[in-house]
Structure 1
C-alpha cells in the first residue's frame, strides 16, 4: 500500500492578497483567495473561517510563505517565539509582505496551537548564490556591518517551475541550465545552473530588478539621492517606489494589471507594456550570461502563465539568444509553447506556490 501525506494548511500573504490552501498528497483539497490582505485583528478570523468550513479535514501542519527572513531564516524553519523575533528585525526589508505574514503566523498559531508551523522563505532557493552574483559593489564595512547582499526572491515559485520544466523536458533538473521568469504583481528573473540559482534580478529587497505592478524595480540611485536632497521626503520616496511606480506609474495611474493594459489603445498603457517587456527581456539576456548554454526559457507567475501577448513580446526581443516567439498561446496545463525543434524551448508553468509550500513544510518536519 502507498503512503499518504498528512494535510497541510498553506498560508501565502502577498502584498495585497491572501491565499489559503489545504493540501494533501500534492492535491489542493480546498482554497480561498482574497484580493485584500487581512489587517491586524482580522487575520485570525480569516484562518478560523477557512478551517471551520471543513472541520472534517484538520491540517497536521501549517506552512507559511515568508518573502524575506534576512539572515535569520534562510531555509524552511519550524516556528518558535525566538524565530519570529529574529524575523521581525528584517521586516522593514520587505514592508509590503513580512508584517502581514507575521500577523497571519500569530493568528494561525492561536487557531492551531497543537500543530507545527513552518516558515518557508522565498530566499532559500537563492541561498547558494555565488559570491560574484550575491555581492554588491559597496564599501566592505557597509557590507559586513549591515549584511548587505543579494538575497533573491520568488524562490518557492522557482523551485516548483524548475521541477516542472525538468519533467516537461524529460531531463533531470540537476542537468539543466535554464532561465526562469516569474512575472506577476511582483516580477523577477533567475538563472539556474544544474539545479542551483546562480543569478537573479531581485536583490537585498524585493524592490530591485524589473518594473512590477506598482513597484519601480531598479532605478538610478543617483536620481534617488537627488530627489532626497530637499525635493521629496524619505516617506514620499518610499511610497512612490513601493506603491505608485511600475506599470501603474508608467501608465499614468491607469492600471498596474497587464490584463487591463493589453489592447487598451491608450498610449500610456502601450508605453508601460513596452518598458516592462524591454526590461524583462534585458534581465533574461543578462541572466543567460551566468550559464554555459540556454537549455530552455521558462515563464511562470500570473503574467507568465496567462498573458501570451507579453510572453511573445518578450521572446521577440531575445532572438540573439536563439529564442523564437511562441507558437502556442493559451494553455490549460503546463507545456512547451515554442515550435517543435526550437533551439531554445520556451515553456510555461502554472504557478503553484501552495504545493511547493506544502512540500517544503513536510520536508522541514522530516
Structure 2
C-alpha cells in the first residue's frame, strides 16, 4: 500500500478516531486485531482496557484494517484454546458481491492474468453479457485474473434491499427489538449487522447455522404448508397450528392461500406435477424470499469483525452506522467518505468513472489531480498509483 494511503489513514485516525470509533461493550473482554499497510497477515490477540487505549494504538500504528471479536473471553490475549469463551454477539454480513446484481459487469474492471494490465469493463447491464469476451488491449491475453468492481448506486440499493429484508426477519419473525438491531455500512460494498441482545450470546455455531438457514429460506418442508404424500399419493392437509406465522405465512401470502384454501392448493399441487414439483417450486420461492447473508460470518463464534468507525483498505471508506429510519436515504459514497480533500496526483490505470461526496469523476487521462479521498479510493481499488 502506498505512502499516499498511509498518510491519509494516519490523518484520519489522528483527527477523527476519538469520536468516530465505536467501542464495543465489555471492551476488556474482547479480542482485537489489525492488519498493517503493505504487510501480510494480521496482528491478533490484543486487548484494550478503554477506547482511549485503542485510539492511541490506531494513531501510532496506522493500520489498514481494524477488527474486534464478536466473542467475549475471560482471557482475550491468550491462544484461542486458552481464552475461555463467554459467549458471542450475533452478527450478519450482507456483501454486494454475493447478490449477482445485473449492473456489476458495467463497472467491473478486468486485470489481465498475463501482463496485469487493467482495462475498461467489458460488459454492460443493458447488453447480452454472453456475447462479450475479454481480450487484453496490451497483450491480447484472453484470461482476466480478477475483476475490480466499483460499486454503483444500484449496487447499494441491492444491498439495502437485503438489509431491509433482514430487519423484517429479525424484528418480525424473531421478535428482536428494533432498537437492538444496529446496521453499518461495511466500508466497501455491503452492510454489517450487530445485534445487541444478550440472549443470543450463548448460541453455539450449530444454533447460529440453523438461524442462517431459516433466514435464507433453506429446507422448508412442503408439509409445513400443507402438502403431504402417502403410499396412496399426494394430498393437502393444513397444519393444525395454521399458516399465520413465519415462513408459513410468507409462502401462503405468495401462493394466495389460507386455511380455507385446500381446493386452491390442490390445484397448485397438480399444476406443479405433484409433490416433487411442488417441493422444487417451494425451494425456489423461499430462496428468492430469503436473505442472502454470508453464513461463515454468523456461524463463527470466534470471528473478529471489522470495527465501526475504522477505515476499509479496499476503498478508503469508513465503516459507519446507518440509522434504520433513514436507511433508504443513506448514501455511503458521501457519509462514509471521510478522508481529506487535499489535491493529489495519481497515475490512473484505465478510464474510470465513479462518484464520491456527491462529485462525479470521469477520468480518461493517464495522470490526474484528484482530492485525496478520490485518489485514495482509486489506489485502494487497484485502479491507480500515487505519482
With normalisation by structure 2, the TM-score equals 0.22
- Structure ID, larger Rg: 2
User: Greater share of strand residues, 1 or 2?
Assistant: 2
Identify which of structures 1 and 2 has the higher relative contact order when contacts are C-alpha pairs closer than 8 Å and 6+ apart: 2
With normalisation by structure 1, the TM-score equals 0.23
